Copies of this chain bind each other. A is one copy, B any other.
Amino acid sequence: MWPTDPTALELNINQKERPLSWKQQTFLADSAMGAPVYRRVKSLLACNLAFRTAGNHNGIKPWLKPAFISKQRLPLPSQSTVLARSYCQHTAQKGLVFRQMFEPISSTYTYLLADCETREAVLIDPVLEEVERDAKLVKELGLRLLYAANTHCHADHITGTGLLKKVVPGCRSIISKDSGAKADITIQEGDRIEFGRFHLEARATPGHTDGCMTFVLNDHSLAFTGDALLIRGCGRTDFQQGSATRLYKSVHEKIFTLPEWCIVYPAHDYKGMTMSTVDEERRLNPRLTKSMEEFVIIMSNLNLPKPTHIDTAVPANLVCGIQGD
């Protein structure tokens, strides 16, 4: 949603020294992203919001001036600017409950999303050892857990989805069809996981495994990237149908094409970081900013040890975890 404060559009076309406010930069960032400026301005006019302009604008009404004219002599928006505009915007304005939880042994993040109005909730990537914690939080927040979804068939931990189905009656497990794993619901590219007024769009992002999915919130503000894209990293591609070229394409075609302000929530982080953005990873990811050829070489030279729990985790995850029976 566009900021409704009229001062947000104080463009100061003639400014040279004074730095742009974040709102001003955001306006230009939107323009640079290809959003039709005129359409946005038109909708603002319809809202009867006042425009304030300053200085000489060369005879062009600032609100109809194409963004590229002024953009050339203005600093490009940094990702922190972009971040500020979008961070949890949907949450505040649309009634989304959101929680991030951490499991320290496999450094896995579990995410809880829910609609405040309907109380319908989804858990992404729950971990077996933390099922009690997650189920307790769902209860404390007065939510109705519809689904426990895995971004992929994990190799480093056993999913909590099987046990959650027992602990939380009515909860159904979800995984991609391409994973080859069993679940109550198997999904494919373009399918939607609906909870109340929200949904997660499933995007197939294979490469770490064949069945990797990225779940994108309907307004494209949040992307749960699983092991496809990590913060300044990515999932390994040396087992479980791994393919560096497929992963490279998946990230570039399905994740980096999301809005730059889309927040990236991965399945893991090993350095204590909790989130990133599409913009940050496009600019700063040390692997995925390289060419595909360089990426393939990097991935083939990682020489990572075999995951400790792969021999127990994968068979269990192929049947959606421990069933609790």
Q: Is the interface of A mostly helix, strand, loop or mixed?
A: mixed
Q: Which of A138-146, A287-295, A304-312 contacts B (4 or more CB under 8 A)?
A: A138-146
A51 within 8 A of B: no
* Interface segment out of the listed A157-165, A250-258, A273-281: A273-281
Identify which of residues 42-82 in chain A touch chain B, using a CB-to-CB cut-off of 8 Å. 47-48, 78-81
Q: Is A169 an interface residue (CB 8 A)?
A: no
Give the bracket for the number of chain A residues in contact with chain B.
35 or more
In the complex, which residues of chain B have a beta carbon less than 8 angstroms from the beta carbon of A93?
Answer: 3, 5, 89, 92
What 1/0 mask marks residues of chain A from 83 to 118 whose CB sits below 8 Å from any chain B CB?
A: 111111101110111111111100000000010110
20 cross-chain CB contacts under 8 A: A22-B116, A22-B117, A23-B95, A78-B141, A78-B142, A80-B116, A81-B95, A84-B91, A84-B92, A86-B92, A88-B89, A88-B91, A88-B92, A89-B92, A89-B93, A101-B272, A102-B272, A103-B272, A133-B272, A137-B273
- A88-B92, A92-B93, A104-B104 known; 19 other A-B pairs, CB under 8 Å? A1-B4, A22-B95, A22-B117, A78-B142, A79-B140, A79-B142, A80-B97, A81-B95, A81-B116, A83-B97, A84-B95, A85-B92, A87-B98, A99-B273, A99-B274, A101-B273, A101-B274, A102-B102, A102-B272
